[in-house]
């Protein structure tokens, strides 16, 4: 079976490395990965202010064209060696569905290779980026309660699992339980999220799950997203899982699942 890395970033990610997209493709070829999907963070919807201090969560709108063009060039260049595809990692942000849908409609070809993820949750005092840093997460958890962070995430993920963008909805649901990223450091006594319920909804929507191996590299988590029991539950419900590294640098392509 052809191996796939379905979740890879690029130099257009302002919080990643500057390595060229071609370096990721070369690494995929070296590791025997047959399909490489670039899923750069789509520009955040107009009117939404990036809550992280550096405002670098997503690519700039003016780079979208160059990104897609380079993806298309690499697809031609490596045809027969690596099947290069180019999509986006799109944020599900409640209240910005219209803007997000418009972006997907304007890039429907790339939408078909995209991932829908939740990185931002809505709290009483504004938006919060849940995977930015362990310190920020812990600080916020002390402020509003870690249970509340989990609950807000669970609600957003449940909405995302319902395929809110219809025809142009990304076919893959990103790192389902990203909220667990810092749980070796801080976690609620009992997990309030109904993971099985979310999986059932994702299955009914016909999603593929991002089997994201970046979690193995995170010191406060060290598991895949989803973690083994959720992955098993997903398979029981008929969901397909697609391996992804979430590489932000070329050497991480295939990390955790490809042979060296």
- Residues near Zn ion (CB under 5 A) are 89, 117, 246
Report DSSP state, residue 13: S
Nearer to Zn ion, 117 or 224 (CB): 117
The distance of Cα 123 from the centroid of its chain, to the nearest Å, equals 21
Return contacts of 65-69, CB within 8 angstroms, 24+ apart. 66/12, 67/10, 67/12, 67/38, 67/40, 68/107, 68/110
Nearer to Zn ion, 117 or 165 (CB): 117
Nearer to Zn ion, 79 or 174 (CB): 174
Nearer to Zn ion, 89 or 252 (CB): 89
- In whole angstroms, the minimum distance from the beta carbon of 39 to Zn ion comes to 6
- In whole angstroms, the minimum distance from the beta carbon of 7 to Zn ion comes to 6
- In whole angstroms, the minimum distance from the beta carbon of 214 to Zn ion comes to 7
CA geometry: angle at 189 spanning 179 and 175, to 5°?
15
Nearer to Zn ion, 70 or 246 (CB): 246
- Residue 259's contacts (CB-CB under 8 Å, 6 or more residues apart) are 31, 32
- In whole angstroms, the minimum distance from the beta carbon of 161 to Zn ion comes to 16
Sign of the torsion angle spanned by Cα atoms 124, 130, 134, 136: negative
Please report the beta strands in 208-248, taking only residues with DSSP state E, as ranges in sequence order. 208-212, 240-244
């Amino acid at each position: 079976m052809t191996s796939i890395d379905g979740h890879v970033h690029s130099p257009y990610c302002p919080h990643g490395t500057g390595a060229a997209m071609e370096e990721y493709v070369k690494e995929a070829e070296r590791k025997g990965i047959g399909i490489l999907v670039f899923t750069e963070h789509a520009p955040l919807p107009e009117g939404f202010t990036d809550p992280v201090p550096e405002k670098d969560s997503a690519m700039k709108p003016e780079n979208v064209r160059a990104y897609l063009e380079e993806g298309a060039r690499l697809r031609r260049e490596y045809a027969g060696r690596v099947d290069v595809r180019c999509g986006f990692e799109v944020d599900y942000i409640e209240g910005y569905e219209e803007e997000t849908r418009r972006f997907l409609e304007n890039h429907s070809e790339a939408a078909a290779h995209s991932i829908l993820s939740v990185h931002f949750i809505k709290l009483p005092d504004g938006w919060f980026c849940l995977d930015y840093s362990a310190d920020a997460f812990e600080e916020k958890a002390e402020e509003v309660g870690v249970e509340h962070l989990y609950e807000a995430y669970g609600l957003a993920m449940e909405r995302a699992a319902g395929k809110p963008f219809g025809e142009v909805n990304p076919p893959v649901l990103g790192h389902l339980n990203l909220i667990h990223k810092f749980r070796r450091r801080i976690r609620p006594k009992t997990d309030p999220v109904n993971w099985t319920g979310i999986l059932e909804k994702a299955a009914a929507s016909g999603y593929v799950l991002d089997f994201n191996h970046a979690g193995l590299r995170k010191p406060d988590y060290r598991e895949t997203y989803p973690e083994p029991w959720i992955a098993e539950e997903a398979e029981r419900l008929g969901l397909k899982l697609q391996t992804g590294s979430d590489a932000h640098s070329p050497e991480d392509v295939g990390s955790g699942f490809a042979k060296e």
